[in-house]
Amino acid sequence: MPSTAPDPAAELVEVAVGLIRDAAGRVLVTRRRAGGHLAGLWEFPGGKVAAHESAAAALARELHEELGIRVDAATHCLSIPHDYPERRVMLRVFRVTKWAGHPEGREGQPLEWRPPSALDATDFPAANAPMLALLTLPSTCLITPSPRSAGAMGEVIERVEQALAAGCAGMVQVRAPHLERDDYLELLAGVLGRAEPRAIPVLANAPPQWLTAFPRVGLHLPEHRWRELERRPPGFGRVALAVHDRAGLDRAAALGADFAILSPVRATATHPAAVPLGWQRFAQLVRGAALPVYALGGMDCASLSRAQAAGAQGIAAIRGLLAG
């Protein structure tokens, strides 16, 4: 989000940006040259979109001019508006999934390959924050089955443990709307006990005031909770919003959420009356989103590549990610 209002007459600059990873998973970053806007900061390579040029064409042109590489495949995954005091920018962000050549700083700019976990937000322009989140988020989010009573919690924890052991989930959301506070916290503690030794992040889908004893947990906000908010809840790890349309995605970005879960993409047994978005509409919404988006609704492991081809960070599911 912008921190300072720009001059109303400030130029709007559209920029195509490429997230390029090598076989080891490292991401390519370049350093802005002295004397220019945001000089000395690191950034992801790309450049201005020319008049009457598509963002995809600008990306291919700029990466060839700046780095000497050829873009063979890229997926549009973010559109980030940001206001600096002296200018307004719109960053069209692409995952470069296939490229050829050996990157070099053709314009004298230093470049480095870095693990995403080693990227420090203070080294990058403020507008890059959603890209840094995208690079460190997993591709799958398991949503726990909802136990109808406290007596069913043990079975849910066991099924989650099986899914984690099978490598089916990179993140877990603990959802249990039928449980009272103490039972929910017992379930959350049980899931955390299985996830934390594997370094799997956990998000709690519960009233924030319930979670004071869990300072490391993330927070998932369904619509009836985030509509009451004016800012991101403080004191949590990652914060996610459940959304269903463009307005929800815009609200998630305005609240400073780390990502959104957009649904339903396909028909789902959990919400049979909901009208599915379909992949085409889903892709349109993702391309215009200012934060990473997961696909929810009828998803399973076989859906992951389709979701990512539509620009998604990955998929979220209950049954589709449970082992066995």
Q: Which residues of the chain have pLDDT under 70?
A: 1-10, 34-39, 323-324
Q: Return the pLDDT at 2.
A: 42
What tens digit of pLDDT does each residue of 278-305 get?
999 999 999 999 999 999 999 999 999 9
* Spatial CB neighbours of 281, under 8 Å, sequence gap ≥ 6: none
| Domains (range + CATH), the chain | 12-120 (3.90.79.10), 140-321 (3.20.20.70)
Q: Return the pLDDT at 1.
A: 43
Predicted TM-score of the model (pTM):
0.92
Quote the distance between the C-alpha of residue 279 and its chain's center. Answer: 18
What tens digit of pLDDT does each residue of 96-132 get?
999 999 999 998 899 999 999 999 999 998 889 999 9
Q: Return the pLDDT at 272.
A: 73
Burial class from Cβ neighbours inside 10 Å (0-12, 13-18, 19+) for residue 272 reads exposed
- Coil vs helix vs strand at 32: coil
- Coil vs helix vs strand at 69: coil
Q: Return the pLDDT at 34.
A: 65
Distance CA 232, CA 268 (A): 29
Q: Identify which of 178, 185, 256, 187 has the alpha carbon closest to the alpha carbon of residue 214.
A: 185
